[in-house]
Amino acid sequence: MGETRAAPIHTAFLLVDNFTHLALSCALEPLRIANFVAGRELYTWSLMSEDGETARCSNGTVMAVDGGLEPLARDARLLVVSGLGVQERVTSALLAYLRRTRAHGTPIGAICSGSYVLARAGFLDGQDAAIHWAFHDLFEEKFPEVGLRRSVFVADQRHVTASGGAAAADLMLHLIAREQGAELATAVADQMVYNAPREGAAGQRLSLQSRHGMRNPRLVQALRIIEDHVDCPLTPAEIAEELGISTRQLERLFGKYLKTSPKRYIMEARLQRAWALLSQTEDSVAQIAMACGFNSTSHFTKVYRAHYGRAPLAHRTLMH
């Protein structure tokens, strides 16, 4: 008798308007390539959106989809894909559909900011999850009951989650290895010219050394101190004291490796955090100013405008 082959695994991608095209491509292409390498149909897929007709990508293109918020086959899985501005795009219809789908036993996961959607639905309470690093501050504030992992993906929980971009490929290669074997997953990675698939625990962002192209351990430690104290910034003298060096030595390190001063770097780190909070949260300008170590809202607004060319509220309007 001939070999009995399992039915293909179907993945439905639910695209939330303004979803990230890169994340979808990185999730879908490994499935296509797995079929190609295996020489048979191991995976099938479909695209869904709330209106059942199209979904708009964050790059402005419009993608036709296969259907709307319709019931899935019991053996399918659903992955929610979204991007920037997800807070304004989580509708009651979308949440109701996800809850019905989970009640029917369908495995549900998320890619990029899709984890925000699952958290809004209450799916991630008490479990760990990954989300794109740009949403970390928002996610921790809105969903303290969810264990945020600052890693590329989480696949050991009920709801798998990937942080977005290339991390979607890492998650799918992990799933292919789990479902079809490591040999096929390696062959898929080779076809993608992806010679270093990451484990789930890998960090999302480049290390401080890689980001700034330097290896000086004291400077790396100084940068970490600055990032950890954005809400209550230390002075260059306090940072130097913590490192056990003089303020003049600290100035020389920043000048040599970063072509800037500690004072300027500290201010830029605070303003970058403010930018992230303006884009991710609905917090007031006063709340954001305080979270970034500014005692005066007017001073924060003045410094922000000088740096970005727009006042915080005007910048928030533009980003949304």
In order of their start, the domains of the chain are: 9-191 (3.40.50.880), 208-319 (1.10.10.60)
Give me the pLDDT at residue 238, please: 94
- Residue found by looking up tokens 């942080």 in the block: 163
What are the backbone angles phi and psi of residue 78, rounded to the nearest 5°? -120, 130
> Could you report how far apart the first and last alpha carbons of the chain are, in Å?
60
3-class SS of residue 82 = strand
SS3 78: strand
Point out the residues of the chain with pLDDT beneath 50.
1-2, 202, 204-207, 210
Q: Which two tokens stand for residue 91?
A: 């509708």
pLDDT of residue 215: 65
Tokens encoding 258: 């970063």
Query: Could you report the per-residue pLDDT of 136-177, keeping only the tens digit for each?
Result: 888 988 899 999 998 889 998 999 999 888 899 999 999 999
Distance CA 12, CA 72 (A): 8
Q: What is the pLDDT of residue 30?
A: 95
Longest CA span, the chain: 80
Residue 207 confidence (pLDDT): 47
pLDDT of residue 158: 92
Check residue 200 and give its pLDDT: 57
Q: What per-residue confidence (pLDDT) applies to 1? A: 40
State pTM to two decimals. 0.72
Q: SS3 string of 270-285?
A: HHHHHHHHHHHCCCCH
Instruction: Tell me what pLDDT residue 2 has.
Output: 45
